[in-house]
Amino acid sequence: MNDVMPADTFVVVNKTVLQDERKVLISLYEPLIGALAINLYNTLWTYLDHLELISTEYTHNTLLNSMMITVNEMVDARRKLEAIGLLKTYVKKGDVNSFVYELYSPMSAKEFINNPILNTALYNALGQIEYERRIEFFKTPTINLKNYEDITVKFSDIFSWSSSSLRAIDIYNLKNKATRPLEIISKIDVHTVLSLIPDEILNHRSVTKDMKNYLMTISFIYDYDNECMIELIRNSITDKHTIDKKLLRDNANKYYQFENMGKLPSLIYKKQPEYLRSSSEVVSNRLKMINLFETTSPYDFIKSKYKTGTPTSSDLNIIAYLLLDLDLKPGVVNVLVDYVLKINNNKLNKSFVETIAAQWKKSNIEMVEDAMNIAEKEYKKRNEQTTSYKTSSKKEIAKPDWFNKDIEEEEATEDEIKQLEEMLKG
């Protein structure tokens, strides 16, 4: 659900020292969050006063008209800026909501490239040739100083003062360049993972807070669970019983590429974005299903359809195509997968899925309920087209349970709710 109305007000606060960092924003950030998000960042910057401290109060209508975009486009761009660390948002709710947008500096090129999440995403977004070209742009030129003498003076060679000139130093709230770290939620419990590796194999005292954060980062990038991370760590321990970061990253990368036909992971919405979720508070079977589609990642959803819990590489490639190439929202992908599996004998046929997905994309389907509605229409049309070819003894094409419109107004029983909540475990 959208959290902004055109009449809502906002102010922009500068939490950093803003400089002309267009090269970093366009070359490194834009391939990940898009030109609209970068444009929003730069536009908010222009609203600051001449001292670049804080803006006067504006309405969002002013911003929307200036950028010639819709509220949904603005919110989507804002959320991308927040996720990648360039913006922080606060809201005070009332008859007219009041927002505060805090701007943060982009990382330096070195910080960006050394961040394993951003570096991986950039490589996958650009491809090897363009990635290497952009990295080359930020490299520092080297000069051979072998035959040169360093004649640079020291501070004390030029400046001096007497003890009488010393004074107490006041601490001011001075502006400073500030960046926001990426905030991620890893699917692993790092303490559990480490506890399951024996002391004779790993020196647990050598595992620093930085290393624990790195383990969670690796699990986030490659979507690895506890069991997989334990195996990767065991294969990345040195003779000194410490974890080798580079070896761990290489092992994670090789394993992922082996399982995904040489492809590298990309940054995608893990679940349906909040602003595209249902706002209804009524409890019914249909709305419980909507909530299930909205709060489950496509990977976990398709994984739940396998008795072994392991999707095939072919099915995962179809999911990646729907999310990355067609840019369908995760909740919509879940509905599409559920629909196709039910009407196609539990098989995800690539050409069949792509045909339906292309139609949904053209129809701009972003909400789960809209996806369910269009699936119902397609199901009915499909049955009408095949009716003349079927005998009366043949059964109707299988359909998902949520096709029954009557359940939308029925309040779910406790047993029905429990059954739906346990659905993914089956």
Q: φ and ψ at 88, to 5 degrees? A: -130, 135
Taking the chain (426 residues) in consecutive chunks of 10 residues, what is each chunk's mean pLDDT?
Answer: 79 74 89 92 89 89 93 92 94 93 91 86 85 86 82 81 58 64 80 92 92 87 87 92 89 79 63 74 77 85 75 76 79 92 84 89 89 87 62 52 49 50 46
Length of the chain, in residues: 426
- Give strand pairing partners of 363: none
Residue 335 half-sphere exposure, CB side, CA atoms within 13 Å?
29
Domain with CATH 1.10.10 in the chain: 9-107
The residue behind tokens 């590489």 is 313
Instruction: Tell me the pairing of strands 9-14 and 58-59.
Output: antiparallel
Confidence (pLDDT) at 42: 92
Q: Which alpha helices (H) appear in 329-409, and where do they start and end?
A: 330-343, 350-362, 368-387
* Neighbour tally for 340: CB within 10 Å: 19
Task: Provide DSSP, 179-206.
Answer: -PPP----SS-HHHHHHTS-TTT--GGG
Single-letter amino acid code for the residue at 360 = W
Decide: pTM greater than 0.75. no
Confidence (pLDDT) at 422: 52
Residue 185: exposure state from Cβ atoms within 10 A (0-12, 13-18, ≥19): exposed
Q: Are 331 and 368 in contact (CB under 8 A)?
A: yes
Confidence (pLDDT) at 168: 57
CA 9 – CA 62 distance, rounded (Å): 9
Q: φ and ψ at 89, to 5 degrees? A: -120, 135
Q: Are 123 and 256 in contact (CB under 8 A)?
A: no
Confidence (pLDDT) at 49: 81
Which CATH fold topology does 9-107 show? Arc Repressor Mutant, subunit A (1.10.10)
CA 32 – CA 112 distance, rounded (Å): 12
CA 235 – CA 255 distance, rounded (Å): 12
Q: At 234, list the tokens.
A: 């065991």
CA 34 – CA 45 distance, rounded (Å): 17
CA 226 – CA 248 distance, rounded (Å): 15
